[in-house]
Structure 1
């Protein structure tokens, strides 16, 4: 038996010491989990606000660990290798998968969302979804996934060097969008309601211009862009109201990408949408290409992991920390669970 945390129902995280041990199957590896990043998805599931979710569920999909058991494989992975886990288990057969869009597979099973995840000591995962991360720390390996979400968002937006990109939302995903857009050579403007977060955008992500979300934010953006507004807007808030208002900041012929997800409907003004011929895109999950882009940014020294991870807890302590991490006064950016030594 192994130990871990189960989200039994909304608002209930239960420590268990009787979880079944995974068995080694062909094409799979047994990985001992060492780090678990806490994502907005985990917090939304805990609060009952996560779409595509059923209880009970073991949460956790931002993961790093060490391979304990593995059979022969084409990836040359071995027991003892440090790895990061790609948590999006795709079928490989549907139209999306055949076209390379494995991130939006028709039969998608996301580790920790559609099936039990990594908030436990040991997991079984397909070898195809492991990335060897020798040379990175366990912390860096665990945050590959949330940063890859940002990488996919900027790829959906077609961000290239010299573009002006407005990123709305300075949470952990939005911060990743900002720093990776900068890595792609874009000029980034950050917008949020929290001044401290905007300070962090400047100091951590290297953003030069920031907007406090307010009644005059549109006028300020117009001033900065000679009335053109932003050709690319990426909303990473997970707020229905923000996602609705984001259309206002898109230039004529520009693009709006939703990285954030809400449980409900989004309404917008169609004449405004059509008059500017705005391209609206959703960004879901990430592909291995996005993970590779993050690895490249880490190799370039772009990612300050120590400042990105603001809170820590052991696996035994973590269930009692969720309510605190949800409070604005906690000032959490990324919470990390440490498992074992």
Structure 2
């Protein structure tokens, strides 16, 4: 079968891989991949900036498709079912897994990062990592994963209805945080350095306010909050400078949630951190509960997948399109690869 491998930095190659096979007594299913979302992880891996990554690697973890075969031990799943993939393969035995935090398993294997992903025609996946997506389109099912990261960050923050939230970064993950924070009843402020992206936040995520971070951000936030600043700040930039500066945007007693990931050290002023009694949280991946929250948001009509997906390419054109998707002038929000 056809597949695309990231051989090394800045190099994708079309290859032929063996077909997946289910062993006797298997609890896996073989999925025919129909949609592959391209995300920041894929782009960073391609450029050599992704932590926890080794080459060569089949990319792709934002996946939807159709079940072709199911193993002998699989229940509740049939050939022909449309599914989305939960790409975080946890061990089930470590301290995180035993405490229900499978999203940060100590032995985590994320498809397309630690182990080969879904940028291929078919893949075998543990059946308990598949979600039947009846009533959703293949496009909607493919973008469940990035939006679920936003849902997890919102849940991780302990967000309460009526709180004022700042979301820094208007990429796909930040947009998901904005949308799910609004769904949870927050007043949401979006910050980015690109006015066009900020306009999209207002239309797509229905944010209450937008602000350009290049223009006196603290003063803007004080004006919007009566001088008190937001009680929850999410940084979804994956940018070390932004993540460092984000400490100054949170209210006394507030929470700062790092949703983005950067291959760098972050430092902060301990006196200021202590004075404000801030809570610093990391938010990694998502759980089935978060996927189900996003599915509910789709069914409530809150998510415009058509506007979110700005670029498309057939599987055979991915390699030639990939470099273009990296360019700021391409204005990519979400690129999706199509297989039929």
TM tier relative to shorter chain? over 0.9
Match of 2:162 in 1: 162
SS at match of 2:79: coil
Q: Whole-Å Cα distance in 1 between the matches of residues 249 and 269 of structure 2?
A: 13
SS at match of 1:252: coil
* CA contact 2:140–2:305 (8 Å) conserved in 1: yes
Give a deviation string over 1:208-242, Cα, whole Å, max 9, x none.
20110024111011011111001000000000000
SS at match of 1:177: helix
* CA contact 1:33–1:66 (8 Å) conserved in 2: yes
* Alignment TM-score, normalising by the size of structure 2: 0.98
Q: Whole-Å Cα distance in 2 between the matches of residues 270 and 52 of structure 1?
A: 29
**Within-5 A mapping of 1:26-175:** 26-73=26-73, 75-175=75-175
1:12 aligns with 2:20: no
Q: Whole-Å Cα distance in 1 between the matches of residues 136 and 248 of structure 2?
A: 41
Q: 1:22 aligns with which of 20, 23, 48?
A: 20
1:247 aligns with 2:243: no
1:160 positional shift? 2.3
1:161 positional shift? 1.4
1:156 positional shift? 1.0
* CA contact 2:168–2:192 (8 Å) conserved in 1: yes
Pick which of 78-87 and 317-326 moved more.
317-326
Match of 1:189 in 2: 189
* CA contact 1:73–1:127 (8 Å) conserved in 2: no
* CA contact 2:35–2:65 (8 Å) conserved in 1: yes
CA RMSD of aligned residues (A): 0.8
Instruction: Report the CA distance shift for 1:99/1:282 in structure 2 as closer, same or farther (over 3 A).
Output: same
1:53 positional shift? 0.2
Q: Whole-Å Cα distance in 2 between the matches of residues 234 and 172 of structure 1?
A: 13
Question: Where do 5+ consecutive residues of structure 1 fail to align?
Answer: none
Pick which of 205-214 and 231-240 moved more.
205-214
SS at match of 2:103: helix
Question: Where do 5+ consecutive residues of structure 2 fail to align?
Answer: none
* Alignment TM-score, normalising by the size of structure 1: 0.98
Q: Whole-Å Cα distance in 2 between the matches of residues 73 and 188 of structure 1?
A: 45
